[in-house]
Amino acid sequence: MNSKFVSVATAAIMTVAAGAANAEPQAEVLHWWTSGGEAKSVAVLQQEFDGRGGTWTDMPVAGGGGDAAMTALRARVLAGNAPTAVQLKGPAIQEWYEEGVLADISSVAKANGWADVLPPSIANHMKCEDTWCAAPVNVHRIDWIWANADVLSRNGIKMPTTWAEFNAAAAKLQAAGVTPLAHGGQAWQDATVFEAVALGIGGADFFQKAFVDLDPATLKSDTMVKVFDQMRTMRGFVDSNFSGRDWNLATAMVMNGEAAFQIMGDWAKGEFLAAGKKPGVDFLCASTPGEGFLYNVDSFAMFSVDGKDKKDGQLLLAELIVGKNFQKVFNLNKGSIPARVDVALDEFDSCAHTSAKDMADSNKGGSLLPSYAHGMALRGAQAGAITDVVTAHFNSDMSSADAVKMLADAVANSL
């Protein structure tokens, strides 16, 4: 063998070896954070990951609520090519674990003491049997009502504290030529409004029995009839172009004074903030009428992948996600509050303080409940069955009596 060849070959082998030893952490991250406020928030994670030597490949799938992202995920997993990290939450985490496709991130959880800094109610969602299989980012609240401060004051209206007050305010606004309720006619947005109304009208026990326990009698109860009645009333408060509208465009209608209110989780606040709007000045936040707190915890699960660079990427991402600084900066942008209990809220606004206080109070009072509309309470089939009925009712002249019958049947057939 000539010596030139040997040295070239040796150099090549050394380069490969060095490359493997220094392989940078890689992550292909599937998420649905594509609105202004959402993109600003996820950029914080990307920057931290890059700052630690990682290479981030972004896989955003637009579509509020994540239905399109979950369809994309299924296709990738079926093709045997799962992304390394996926925005995934609630029982869907355990559903994917049961498919045998999730990576175990217990080593990071243990090394970073997650059990000591996460409330048990959140930590439980992140566990699959005796392993940690997801990392939580935040706590979003669903049962919020957002309002344009100027529109309310010009029309002599205060934030409603009962559904009757809401209906009266909406009628007054409508008479004044303002769209009372900014809404996007997409199934998950209908479900978002519906669950806030259900909690408000029925209370925490009713919500628990209906959307967590799937109790047939509660699903077809007189109280559920009243919930659908209120949905019918609210259908009359949306503008004629609501069908198919994205949630952030509905938020923009409130921002620019075209509409007065939006009922939406606090990612809407992320949108107001990204547009430079100030809480208490430009926009107002209040919990929707009634007691309780509907929580929605965003989290990331890691899928089983080959290659040290990808595995390192997963562990690094998991560590950063539950990191104290990330939880602060991300949530300041996202509109949510940190999942960690030890992050000071000094820099957070009044809406975030309300959220943290109400969460603690409702936890004590037994009215802290998982959002069904955002995949925290039920498995996909049952949540989908409920949402189909909610949407069918909202977009037709179906009576409330027919809707509750259909609801109980749809849930029974989905089990």
Site of interaction with ligand BGC (CB under 6 A): 32, 38, 64-66, 140, 267, 296, 298, 374
Shortest Å distance, C-beta 32 to ligand BGC: 5
Minimum distance from residue 397 beta carbon to ligand BGC (Å): 29
**Nearer residue to ligand BGC within complex by CB, 228 or 295:** 295
C-alpha–C-alpha distance, residues 158 and 181, integer Å = 15
Considering beta carbons, is residue 176 or 275 the nearer one to ligand BGC?
275
Token digits of residue 385: 């069955």
Q: Which residues contact 241 (CB under 8 A, 6 or more apart)?
A: none
Can you name the residues that pair with 296 across neighbouring β-strands? 140
CB of 228 to ligand BGC, least distance (A): 23
Residue 298 C-beta: closest distance to ligand BGC, Å: 5
Q: How far is the CB of 360 from ligand BGC (least distance, A)?
A: 21
Question: What does the radius of gyration of the chain's CA atoms come to, in whole angstroms?
Answer: 23
| Rounded CA separation 288/146 (Å) | 9
Please, which residue, 48 or 309, has the CB nearer to ligand BGC? Answer: 48
Closest contact distance (angstroms) between CB of 188 and ligand BGC is: 7
Q: Of 168, 176, 183, 224, which is closest to residue 201 (Cα–Cα)?
A: 224
CB under 8 Å to 65, separation ≥6 — which residues? 32, 186, 188, 189, 192, 247, 373, 374
In this complex, which beta carbon is closest to ligand BGC, that of residue 228 or of residue 372? 372
**What's the Cα-to-Cα distance from 162 to each of 143, 266, 373, rounded to whole Å?**
13, 20, 22
Q: Which is nearer to ligand BGC, 274 or 408 (CB)?
A: 274
- Minimum CB distance to ligand BGC smaller for 207 or for 247: 247
Angle separating helix axes 36-51 and 324-334, nearest 10 degrees: 160
Helix, strand or coil, per DSSP, at residue 167: helix
Q: CA-to-CA distance for 305 and 302, rounded, in angstroms?
A: 9
Nearer to ligand BGC, 52 or 379 (CB): 379
Query: How near is the Cβ of 291 to ligand BGC at its closest, in Å?
Result: 22
Cβ-proximal residue to ligand BGC, closest one: 267
